[in-house]
Amino acid sequence: MPLTEDKIRETLKQVIDPELYINIVDLGLIYVIDIKEPDEKGVHDVHIEMTMTSPMCPAGPQLVGGTKAAAEGMEEVGAVDVQVVMDPPWSQDMMTEDARDQLGIF
């Protein structure tokens, strides 16, 4: 099965925000997943752009590390570059309906 953005997003759901107890995908923290062409072994390098719920998020380093580790743990993935961006700024509108339900936001 080829490596897809959806497959990577599913894997990244194992990264849980330690303050909100919701995964980073449902929180809307993952903005871009760029899958590079495979090498001769079929392994892809991946570039991920993500944000934080606030610029001074205390869990930022943990979330970036977890994102990198989760993606690198995939068999088809080689090097992973995670870039934190603040534009566009994160808002509650970026969360999935499931995440809003878990946090009681209607």
DSSP 89: P
CATH number of 5-91: 3.30.300.130
The pTM of the full predicted model, rounded to 2 decimals, is: 0.93
Extents of the domains making up the chain:
5-91
Q: Which residue has the higher pLDDT, 5 or 1?
A: 5
pLDDT digits (tens, 9 = 90+) for 18-35: 999 999 999 999 999 999
Contact (CB, 8 A) for 45 and 81 = yes
Q: Partners of 44 in the beta sheet?
A: 77
Q: pLDDT at position 2, please?
A: 87
